[in-house]
Amino acid sequence: MPFHRWAPTPPMGWNSWDCFATTVTEQQVKANADYMAEHLKQYGWQYIVVDIQWYEPNATGFQYRRNAQLVMDQWGRLLPAPNRFPSAAGGAGFKPLADYVHSKGLRFGIHLMRGIPRQAVRQGTPIKDTPYHAQDIADTNDVCPWNPDMYGVDMSRPGSQEYYNSVFDLIASWDVDFVKVDDISRPYHRHQREIEAIRKAIDRTGRPIVLSLSPGETALTAAEHVKRHANMWRISDDFWDNWPAVWQQFARLRNWNPHRGPGYWPDADMLPFGVLEMGRRRTRFTPEEHYTVMTLWCIARSPLMFGGDMTKMDDFTLSILTNKEVIAVNQESTNNRPLFERGRLIAWVADVPASNDKYLALFNANDPDDGLDPNQALYSSGIIRGRPDRLVDITADISGAKRLLLVVTTAGDGLDNDHANWIEPYLEGPAGRLRLIDLTPVRATAGWGRVGINKNASGQDLTSEGRQVEFGIGTHAPSIIEFDLPAGYTTFRAKAALDRASRGRGSVQFRVFSERATRPIVKAIPISVHLTDLDIQGPAAVRDLWAGKDLGTYLHVFAAEIPFHGAGLYRIRPIGP
């Protein structure tokens, strides 16, 4: 396909969604473009993409205002809101901002919702260069389930292709290089005709606009069609900074691996690193999880779109984004493929172009060791899965204990909605009865979201069987909540259950420990690879790409200690004939 030439390698850039949601302004876009030009462009980063609702003057965050007044031209085409993008005033559109980005040696992209604005239908705006109007082509029964701005376009109606043509004529006149079309890749087959219309509209402009489709999960049954119509497409819903989301991407990237090639790239979504959510917080990923995400995206050759505010970049995140040897894996490697999955120990391999060398990625996707001996548990439930609110009674003898540790583990079965609640937890003994929430935990960790007092990990009120509970603690596996125990208490009691947020797709185990169960923490697991599995018959020299360090020569087997939730990335060079 000719348009495949426009993205011969996975696109690398920045998207405004993770850090600014719907609120990004021209000043913020320029500031991030300035940063990319100075610090990242030399490493291959080149796209600056303005995400959703640039046409909404009063957008406020990650939610969408119903019936908001959108900025639109007389043909029903969306325009940048001048109060947020002052250079767009007077009909200039995004052309001045695109010119600014181009002046930095970068490329400019925008987000576009599938369909035609509902506002255009209400106003009966004409479709440019046709006798038809917005209401003639809109399918008012085809609406986005999460955004209120658009109706789908019925491609069987006269004027429908001409509408999309007019939209992309306008976008091309702004010198846009990249368009992310949203609410289109899921459900893919229902939107297939609109995808075809967008492809035609882009091609007729004559401008090389890279086309990205969102959100996922794109259906695997659409693989051949999407390769013929888009440069990249999402393989998941929005990817955020939590380990369950990372774990799901392993299977998705493995499944999509046969359907990747120059100009058409399965997209694992943005990198939610650095400062996110309008400056309110930093990423929740640990350093090891940063390495895992970047290694997986690179060895599987996903597009790389940074999601954080670049103007607030820290040294560690910058080091992740500017490792030339790692980026080369994403941009240059070939024949990328999974090598093995031994439980949650995973390896991928790829070829180094014009060389007999191999790239090897090793992943330890096991949850971190909690340093607790399960045989010393004061209480251990069976695996609890399925229906939320199914209560389990917990009683544990804590006589003589100095610390209480409440642990929720995943069941290791791939289910990831592991929202769990400790309901009405309390201590009792000679000192009386004490609610556990009246103590301050010395440690409280959750695998997603945050530990909540009288709230679940999502921040919602704790409920049981549809009723708000009197008191409790909400979390998400894997989780450890630790308390120093006051004197005078001999028994711990609680009820435990999956939270309603698990939606029937969680599986966890509840355990109660005292300090007597602690043992040395295992920090890493060795992963070994036979060199013959890499088609290397003799000795080989190994280089650690993340460390930028030569590790020496290995014969027959290479092994590395990989931290939990961590990864290693290596170049293996055969020695000798």
- CATH code where residue 69 lies: 3.20.20.70
> What is the DSSP annotation of 270-332?
-B--SEETTTTEE----HHHHHHHHHHHHHTT--EEE-S-GGG--HHHHHHHT-HHHHHHHHH
Least reliable range by pLDDT among 248-262, 338-352, 501-515? 501-515
Average pLDDT over residues 438-442: 97
pLDDT at residue 577 tops 80: no
- Judge whether 136 and 159 are in contact, CB under 8 Å: yes
Rounded to two decimals, the pTM is 0.90
- Rounded to an integer, the average pLDDT of 270-298 is 97
Same domain, 381 and 313: no
* 328, 404: one domain: no
Confidence of residue 498 (pLDDT cuts 50, 70, 90): very high
Given a cut of 80, is residue 67 above it in pLDDT?
yes
Is the Cβ–Cβ distance between 22 and 53 less than 8 Å? yes
pLDDT at 447: 86
- Average pLDDT across the chain, whole number: 96
Q: How confident is the model at residue 565 (pLDDT cuts 50, 70, 90)?
A: very high
- pLDDT at site 386: 79
- Does one domain contain both 239 and 120? yes
- 328 and 378 housed in the same domain: no
On whether both 423 and 320 belong to a single domain, the answer is no
Give the model's confidence band at 146: pLDDT under 50 very low, under 70 low, under 90 confident, else very high. very high
In the predicted structure, residue 414 carries a pLDDT above the cut 80: no
pLDDT digits (tens, 9 = 90+) for 44-64: 999 999 999 999 999 999 999
Confidence band, pLDDT 50/70/90 cuts, at residue 448: confident
Domain final residue pick, 491, 517, 543: 517
Beta strands 384-385; 507-514: pairing state: antiparallel
Residue 566 lies in a domain: no
Confidence class for position 370, pLDDT limits 50, 70, 90: confident
pLDDT at residue 415 is higher than 70: no
Could you tell me if 65 and 138 lie in one domain?
yes
Question: Are 168 and 224 in the same domain?
Answer: yes
SS3 letters across 189-212: HHHHHHHHHHHHHHHHHCCCCEEE
Give kind and range of the element (H or E) at residue 253.
Answer: helix 243-256
Domain count along the chain: 2
167 lies in the same domain as 251 = yes
Establish if 161 belongs to a structural domain. yes
CB 211 within 8 A of CB 198: yes
Does residue 413 share a domain with residue 286?
no
Residue 356 belongs to some domain of the structure: no
Give the pLDDT of residue 491. 98
Tell me which residue range forms the domain holding 63. 2-332
Residues 327, 229, single domain; the answer is yes
What is the band of 410 on the pLDDT scale with cuts at 50, 70, 90? confident
Within a domain: 505: yes
Specify the long-range contacts of residues 397-400, CB closer than 8 Å, at least 24 apart. 397/490, 397/491, 398/427, 398/485, 398/489, 398/490, 398/491, 398/492, 398/514, 399/490
Last residue of a domain, one of 305, 332, 359: 332
Whether 448 and 500 share a structural domain: yes
Instruction: Identify which has the larger pLDDT, 167 or 370.
Output: 167
User: What CATH number is associated with residue 495?
Assistant: 2.60.120
Q: How confident is the model at residue 10 (pLDDT cuts 50, 70, 90)?
A: very high
Classify residue 132 as exposed, middle or buried by CB count within 10 Å of its CB (0-12, 13-18, 19+): middle
Query: Is 132 part of a structural domain of the chain?
Result: yes
pLDDT surpassing 80 at residue 363: yes
Q: Is residue 567 part of a domain?
A: no
Q: For residue 560, is it within any domain?
A: no
Exposure class string for 425-456: b at 16+ Cβ within 10 A, else e: bbbebeeeebebbeeebeebbbbbbbbbeebb
Domain contains 348: no
Are residues 456 and 321 both part of a single domain? Answer: no
Residue 504 has a pLDDT of: 81
The four Cα atoms 307, 313, 316, 317 give a dihedral, to 10 degrees, of 10
Last residue of a domain, one of 517, 538, 562: 517
